[in-house]
Each structure stands twice: as C-alpha cells, then as structure tokens.
Amino acid sequence: MLWSKTRTTFGHSFISQITFKNKKKKKAVKMISGTQFTIVYDVLSFSFATMMATTIFLWMRVPSVHEKYKSALIISGLVTFIASYHYLRMFNSWTEAYEWTGEGELAKTGSPFNDAYRYMDWLLTVPLLLIEIILVMKLPADESKSKATTLGIASAAMIAIGYPGELFMSEDNLGGRWVYWIGAMLPFLYIVQTLLVGLNDATQSEADPAVRKLIKGVQWWTVIAWCTYPVVYIFPMMGISGSNAIVGIQLGYSVSDIISKCGVGLLIYQITIAKSLALKNGNEETPLL
C-alpha cells in the first residue's frame, strides 16, 4: 500500500512537471480587450464567409466557360476554398484562446492562438493564384509551364522566408523581423517584375482589347493587393505594439486576403467568360495550355 501511494504521488508529480514544461514552451497569448477580441472574431468570421461564398460562385460557373479555361476557374475556386478552411481553423483557434467570464470580462484560456494556419494557407494558395493568371494568358504550352513553375517556386520561397519573422514581435528583437522582411521582398519583387514586365508581350498579343484590358487589370490588381502584405508585416516596426499589433495584423492580413483571393478570382472569371465567347465566335486561336 505504501509503495502504491508513493508510486501514485511520484506519477502525479512527474506528469505535473511535464505539463508545466510544455506550457512554458507554448507561445504566450497576449491579453486583449473585449472590443479587440470582437473585432478579430468578426473579421475572421467575415473572411471565412466571403471565401466560401466566392468558392461556391466560381465552381457553379465552371460549366459556363469553355473547356480550355475550366482549369483556371476551378483553381480560382480552389484558392478560396483552401482559404476558407484555414480561416475556419483560425477562427476556432481564436475563440479557444480566450473566454468570457461570468462577470462579463475577457480572460485567457491558456490555449495558444495558432496563427501559423495563415502561412500554411499562403503556402498553398499563393502559387495557385499565380498559376490561374498564367492559365488565362496567351502563352505557348512550354512557356506557360515554365512561368508557372518559376513563379510558384518564387512565391513559396517568399512565404517560407517571411514566416520566421512573424515570431519577432517584441520591441527588443524587431531587427530580426526586418531581416526576414527584406529577404522575403526579393522573391516578391521578382514576382511583381514578372507580372508587369515579363508577361507584357503575352498580354499585348491578345487580339481582343477588352480581354487585354481584363488581363492587365488582374495583373495590376494582384500586384497592388500584394503590396499591402509587406505593409501589414511591418506594423510592429511602425510603433504598433502589444495587443494593437495583434489586432492590426489579423485585420490587415484578412482584408488583403479578401482583396487578393476573392477579387482576383472574380476577375479570372470575367476573363474566362470573355475568352470563352471569343472561342465560340471563332476569334480565339491560342492553343490549349
């Protein structure tokens, strides 16, 4: 009996030590106000609904476009579908990190907010965003594959380089955040140069002025929308700190995602419809991509 009690006491003590050590390793959740919690709660919920609604619309419109451009429209819907899943995961993680007490006060639960879902989403969706643009352009099959590959690799590198910098949030280590920001900007600038300059000949080769205008529009829309991400990234270096930085980053990235994913998806839809009509009327002569 004495051995049993000793073993039980030792076991509880050992488990408690492991639990305590694991809790210390978790990234601490900063305390925020009830208003700040509600703002992030609402924006994550709105982003999820917007992404899912865009997905349903794009996929339901697939039968309306020519077989040649169905892949581009399906990928557009896939981008927003993947994003909606990750926004649901972020929403759940956010609600699990905080709770309302019986007195109506907000308190931390001890569960960390997993913001890595956002970068996992970008790692999947950013290359697809670029691929869907390539698929609606007037490019030979080999060049289309080459551009899609190089842009996909560049975008994945941009995301991978930028993520570690998100871990630098305190004022005493923001220098590390600058290093990763600069590193991620290198593939970012390559992507911008390719969209606006490298693909210009293919854009100008479009016979239909309306289609040419739409393709230019989706290129510029993508670049302008993407330029908001580096700005949000440096919020902590702009004097925005603590809970304000957390809320600002979540709000900024969510708005940027809606503009870049849903906005680009709807523009891609317009291009596929215009090109499908051109094929139907015998005005489109580009080979299948």
Q: Per residue in 18-32, pLDDT tens?
A: 333 333 334 557 788
Q: What is the residue range of 220's domain?
A: 30-280
Residue 218 lies in a domain: yes
Residue 159 has pLDDT above 70, yes or no: yes
Q: What is the pLDDT of residues 97-147, one digit of tens each?
A: 999 988 778 999 989 999 899 999 999 999 999 999 999 998 999 999 999
- Tokens representing residue 132 in the block: 């869907």
Confidence at residue 284, expressed as pLDDT on a 0 to 100 scale? 53
Confidence at residue 28, expressed as pLDDT on a 0 to 100 scale? 59
Residue 22 lies in a domain: no
Confidence at residue 85, expressed as pLDDT on a 0 to 100 scale? 98
Residue 135 lies in a domain: yes
Residue 24 lies in a domain: no
Residue 40 has pLDDT above 70, yes or no: yes
Across the chain, what does the average pLDDT equal? 88
Instruction: Tell me how far CA of residue 40 lies from CA of 26, 83, 87, 118, in angstroms.
Output: 21, 16, 11, 14
For the full predicted model, state whether its pTM sits above 0.75: yes
Residue 99 lies in a domain: yes
Distance CA 13, CA 8 (A): 9
Confidence at residue 171, expressed as pLDDT on a 0 to 100 scale? 77
Helix, coil or strand: residue 108: strand
Confidence at residue 170, expressed as pLDDT on a 0 to 100 scale? 78
Closest alpha carbon to 229 in 125, 142, 143, 153: 125
For residue 67, what pLDDT band results from cuts at 50, 70 and 90? very high
Residue 191 lies in a domain: yes
Instruction: Tell me how far CA of residue 215 lies from CA of 67, 132, 208, 219, 257, in angstroms.
Output: 19, 11, 11, 6, 20
Residues 203, 216 contacting (CB under 8 angstroms): yes
For residue 186, give the CATH number of its domain: 1.20.1070.10
Residue 11 lies in a domain: no
Distance CA 287, CA 289 (A): 6
Q: What are phi and psi of 201, to 5 degrees?
A: -60, -40
Confidence at residue 283, expressed as pLDDT on a 0 to 100 scale? 60
Query: Total structural domains in the chain?
Result: 1
Confidence at residue 289, expressed as pLDDT on a 0 to 100 scale? 38
Residues 276, 65 contacting (CB under 8 angstroms): yes
Residue 286 lies in a domain: no
Distance CA 196, CA 220 (A): 7
